[in-house]
Amino acid sequence: MSRVAAIQMNSGPDVEENLVRADGLIEQAVSNGANLVVLPENFALMPRQESDRMHVAENEGSGPIQAFLAQQSKKSGIWLVGGTIPLMTAQGNKFYASCLMYRPDGGLAARYNKIHLFDVAVSDVEAYKESEFFEPGATTSDNLVCVDTPVGRTGLTICYDVRFPELYRRLSSMGALLLSVPSAFTATTGQAHWQTLLRARAIENLAFVIASAQSGTHASGRETYGHSMIIDPWGEILGQLAGEPEGVITADIDQDKLHAVRQRFPSLQHRRL
Q: Is the distance from CB of 259 to CB of 234 less than 8 angstroms?
A: no
- In terms of Cα–Cα distance, which of 214, 244, 211, 234 is closest to 5? 211
Q: Is the distance from CB of 110 to CB of 116 less than 8 angstroms?
A: no
Residue 146: active-site member: no
- Identify the active-site residue in 58, 130, 146, 159: 159
Q: Is the distance from CB of 163 to CB of 14 less than 8 angstroms?
A: no
Residue 114: active-site member: yes
Residue 99: active-site member: no
- Identify the active-site residue in 41, 58, 130, 135: 41
> Angle, nearest 10°, between helix axes 15-31 and 64-76?
10
Beta strands per DSSP E along the chain: 2-8, 36-38, 79-81, 85-88, 95-102, 108-113, 119-121, 127-129, 146-147, 154-156, 178-180, 208-211, 215-217, 223-225, 229-231, 237-240, 247-253
120 φ/ψ angles, rounded to the nearest 5 degrees:
-145, 140
- Identify the active-site residue in 99, 114, 135, 246: 114
Active-site residue list = 41, 114, 159
